[in-house]
Amino acid sequence: MQTITAKKSLKRTAPDTLLPSAALSVPKKNIRYYQWLDKPPEVGDVVYGMVRYLGFHTTLENKEGRIHIINDGSRSVFVFGNRYAPDAFEGFVPEQTIGQVDMLARSGIVGQMTRKNVNVKDPTRVEILGYVCDKSGQVVNTRRCPRIKDPRTTKKIRRRSPMILVVGTSMNSGKSLAAASVCWALSTMGYKVRGAKVTGTASLKDILHMEDAGASPVADFTHFGYPSTYMLSSVELLEIFNKLDLKYANNPGNYWVVELADGVVQRETAMLLNSPEVKSRIHRLVFTASDALGALAGIGILKRMFGLVPDAVSGICSASPLAIEELKGFTDIPVVSNTQRDLKEWTKIIL
């Protein structure tokens, strides 16, 4: 725990300081002071910074989901975290104090980029002006102020809300839209639906899609103070899953729609799909893919690695009649569109 030796070293943050969605769990009243500290950053440490170079990210998502345009010189709060994104960057929290960092996600996560997709620009650069601190000098960390309190019990009742799990081949394969389509179908049929995203990088739009489709309440790992789940242990991942399960899935008359980020071979997703605790909770499994071949390969991996068979294929490939025709030549698993919402088709799958 880092504290200061002299209160006069604290500086005031600007009144209009942006509070990004990676800091969802931090109350606005905690963002008042900052100071430069020579301390190694930790996952969840909140910092005050200034944009010094506009690269890949030119916008910032705040904790209400509004998208702000940022400029060279924009000041904001940022959060140290790791990022796994095959379509963009891989990055990590630096091991020592540094003056400038890379913006790894639109939600305000910063760190040091280690690898990037060659088709995207270099990351936006942020100058660290100091750690955000409370008035006593303690560094504000998202993990120390979870938005959801721990459940009163860790024991799950036997009959629980059926869980519809949505996984895919990779990021941007259509998982979030498929999850929203499931929420829409269930809520249209009159069921109460809760929505959750267990793994990934802070991004409010994913769970807000579920909310727009009728799920309420919705939550993800940021509600527990994690800016991302990349490189968390299996114990931490299961803790997030089980806390969300205990919080939102106790009523067997409701449904719980859950998304896991990235692809089924990605580290954290694979950990959860290998877990008996997670597999035993699956009522229906929806698998998304960008193309027919990816869908077929993913179906094979799900069976071979995890002993799972999807109840439906959806995602980007489901928008293409030709891709659907290719799929039907090799599998009997139904394909359901995640954009042209067909209540009759979803009803066959998810009840």
Residue 330 in any domain: the answer is yes
CA separation for the pair 336, 9 (Å, rounded): 59
Higher pLDDT, 254 or 153: 254
Summarize pLDDT for 196-217 with one digit per residue, the tens. 999 999 999 999 999 999 999 9
Statement to judge: residues 111 and 201 lie in one domain: no
Residue 224 in any domain: the answer is yes
Statement to judge: residues 207 and 324 lie in one domain: yes
Residue 40 in any domain: the answer is yes
Statement to judge: residues 59 and 170 lie in one domain: no
Statement to judge: residues 108 and 182 lie in one domain: no
Summarize pLDDT for 171-190 with one digit per residue, the tens. 999 999 999 999 999 999 99
CA separation for the pair 47, 79 (Å, rounded): 6
Statement to judge: residues 191 and 233 lie in one domain: yes
Summarize pLDDT for 136-148 with one digit per residue, the tens. 899 999 999 999 8
Q: Give the domain-ending residue among 111, 141, 171.
A: 141
Q: For position 17, what pLDDT does the model report?
A: 87
Statement to judge: residues 172 and 319 lie in one domain: yes
Residue 156 in any domain: the answer is no
Statement to judge: residues 287 and 333 lie in one domain: yes
Query: Is residue 78 a contact partner of residue 103, using CB atoms and an 8 Å limit?
Result: yes
In this predicted structure, the answer to whether residue 152 has a pLDDT above a threshold of 80 is no
* Closest to 107 in 3D by CA, of 70, 78, 130: 78
Q: In whole angstroms, how far apart are CA 147 and each of 43, 48, 258, 290? A: 17, 21, 19, 34
CA separation for the pair 279, 103 (Å, rounded): 35
Q: Name the band, by pLDDT with cuts 50, 70 and 90, for residue 151.
A: confident
Statement to judge: residues 130 and 175 lie in one domain: no
Judge residue 265's burial from the number of C-beta atoms within 10 Å of its C-beta, 0-12 exposed, 13-18 middle, 19 or more buried: middle
Q: Is the peptide bond before 146 cis (omega within 30 degrees of 0)?
A: no
Residue 153 in any domain: the answer is no
Q: Give the domain-ending residue among 141, 172, 202.
A: 141
Residue 149 in any domain: the answer is no
Query: Is residue 18 a contact partner of residue 60, using CB atoms and an 8 Å limit?
Result: yes
Statement to judge: residues 49 and 178 lie in one domain: no
Tokens found for residue 317 = 């490939």
Residue 27 in any domain: the answer is yes
Q: For position 1, what pLDDT does the model report?
A: 43
Q: For position 7, what pLDDT does the model report?
A: 53
CA separation for the pair 2, 124 (Å, rounded): 28
At 199, which amino acid appears? T
Statement to judge: residues 184 and 119 lie in one domain: no
What is the residue range of 297's domain?
A: 163-350
CA separation for the pair 41, 48 (Å, rounded): 13
The rounded percent of the chain whose pLDDT value lies above 70 is: 97
Statement to judge: residues 208 and 312 lie in one domain: yes
Write the CB contacts of 137 (distance below 8 Å, at least 6 apart in sequence): 2, 3, 4, 7, 10, 35
At 18, which amino acid appears? L
Residue 1 in any domain: the answer is no
User: For the chain, what is the mean pLDDT?
Assistant: 94
Can you tell me the mean pLDDT for 293-306?
98
Q: How many structural domains compose the chain?
A: 2
Statement to judge: residues 327 and 189 lie in one domain: yes
For tokens 């504000």, name the residue. 140
Tokens found for residue 1 = 């725990």
User: CATH no. for residue 304?
Assistant: 3.40.50.300
